[in-house]
Amino acid sequence: MKRSLLLPLLLAAGLAAIAAATAFGPSGLGPGEAIRALLAGPPSGPDAATASLVVWELRLPRAVLAWVVGAALAFSGTIFQGLFRNPLADPFVIGVSGGASVGAVAAIAFGASISFLGLDTVPLFAFAGGVAAVAVVYLIGRSGGRASMETLLLAGLAVGAFCAALTTLLLWMNAGGIAEMVLWLMGHRDAVRWSHVGAALPYVALAAALGTAHARDLNALSMGEEQAQQLGVSVSRARRALLAAGTLAAAASVAVSGLIGFVGLIVPHAMRRLIGADHRRLLPEAALAGGAFLVIADTAARILPPSGLPLGIVTGLCGGPFFLYILKRKPAP
C-alpha cells in the first residue's frame, strides 16, 4: 500500500478508536450522550454535567494513554527487531520488563512514597527499574570496548531471569499487598488521569525523535554490522542511540501501564509484512498501528464480559493466536 494512503488511514483508525473508547463504557452512559459531551468540550466548574466528567476525566485520558502506550511499544519493538535482526524480538528482550517489575513491586511492597518529573511512586520505580536493568545488561554485554548484539541478548535473558526471581521473592514476602502487585503485573489500569499521559508523553516523544533520526542507520544495522560499517555507519554510536530510544519508549510505557505483552512483538512483525523493512517508513507506521490496536484492546477490556479485565490479559488472548498464525506463514522480508 502506498505510504500516502496508509499513514492517514492509520491516523484515522487511531482517532476513530479513541472516539469509540469515549462513546462506550460500563458506566451506563450512552454513546450518543458521550459523543455530545465530547464535542461540547472539557467540563468547567464544580457543576459540570456527569456525562462531561465521565468522558473527559475518565474515558478520554484512558483512551489517549492507551494510544500513547501502544504506539511506544510498537515503536520500541520495531527498533529491537531491527537491531537484533530477529522479527520475533520484543521491547522487553533486554530486561526492560524484568527491571520494571522489580521496581514496581518493590515500591508497593515497601510502601515507598515519592514522585519525580510527573511520575508517582509505582510508575517512577518501574521506570527506574527498567532503565537500570538495561544499563546492567549493556555493561555486562560490553566486551573489549564493544557490545555484540548476541552478547546483549544473552545478558538480557540472564538479567530478565534474575529480575523475575526477585519479583517472585517480593511477592512471596509481601502477601498483604499481593493483589495490587499482581494487578500491576497484568497491566491493570484503573483511575487513569491526564497526569499519566503528561508523564509518559515527553519520554515517548524523546524516544521517537531519537529513533526516527537513526532510522537509516537501523536499515543498515539490520543487514549486519559489517555491511553497516561499509555504508559509513558508526555502528557503536548508532546502536547505543537506538538501544536508548527503544528502552526509553518501553520503560515509559511500562511505568504508566504495567506489563502489556504482544503489542511490541506482533504489530511491528505484521507491519513489516505489509509495507516492508524500510525503517524510515516502518517506525512511524508501526507506531500508529500499535496505538490504534491498544485502544481497541483496552476498550474491549472495559466493555466485554467479564468487564474490567486487565489489559495484559486481553492483549495476550489476542496476540497468542495471531502470533501462531504469523509463525505458519513464510518469514518476513
Q: Which residues contact 96 (CB under 8 A, 6 or more apart)?
A: 130, 133, 134, 247, 250, 251, 254
What rounded mean pLDDT belongs to the chain? 84
Give residue 246's pLDDT: 92
Average pLDDT of the segment spanning 211-223: 92
pLDDT digits (tens, 9 = 90+) for 284-321: 999 999 999 999 999 988 888 777 788 888 888 887 78
Highest mean pLDDT among 129-138, 146-155, 186-195: 129-138
Give residue 292's pLDDT: 96
Please indicate whether residue 66 or residue 233 has the higher confidence score (pLDDT): 66
How does DSSP assign 231-251, residue by residue?
TT--HHHHHHHHHHHHHHHHH
Give residue 48's pLDDT: 61
- Within 13 Å of residue 133, how many CA atoms lie on the same side as its CB? 35
Nearest-CA neighbor of 73 among 280, 282, 246?
246
Percent of the chain with pLDDT over 70: 91
Give residue 206's pLDDT: 93
Residues 66-328, CATH architecture:
Orthogonal Bundle (1.10)
The amino acid sitting at 23 is A
Q: Is the pLDDT of residue 28 over 80?
A: no
Q: Is the pLDDT of residue 333 over 50?
A: no
Note if the bond before 123 is cis, omega within 30 degrees. no
Q: Is the pLDDT of residue 47 over 80?
A: no
| Alpha-carbon span 26 to 315, nearest angstrom | 20
Give residue 144's pLDDT: 54
How does DSSP assign 42-96, residue by residue?
S--STT--HHHHIIIIIIHHHHHHHHHHHHHHHHHHHHHHHHTT-TT--TTTTSH
DSSP H helices in 110-193: 121-141, 149-173, 178-185
pLDDT digits (tens, 9 = 90+) for 63-118: 999 999 999 999 999 999 998 888 778 888 888 888 988 988 888 888 777 766 66
Burial class (CB in 10 A: 0-12, 13-18, 19+), 40: middle
Give residue 142's pLDDT: 74
Give residue 295's pLDDT: 95
Give residue 1's pLDDT: 56
Average pLDDT of the segment spanning 48-53: 76
Give residue 183's pLDDT: 79
C-alpha cell recorded at residue 265: 512483538
pTM score, two decimals? 0.89
Q: How confident is the model at residue 33 (pLDDT cuts 50, 70, 90)?
A: confident
Give residue 117's pLDDT: 64
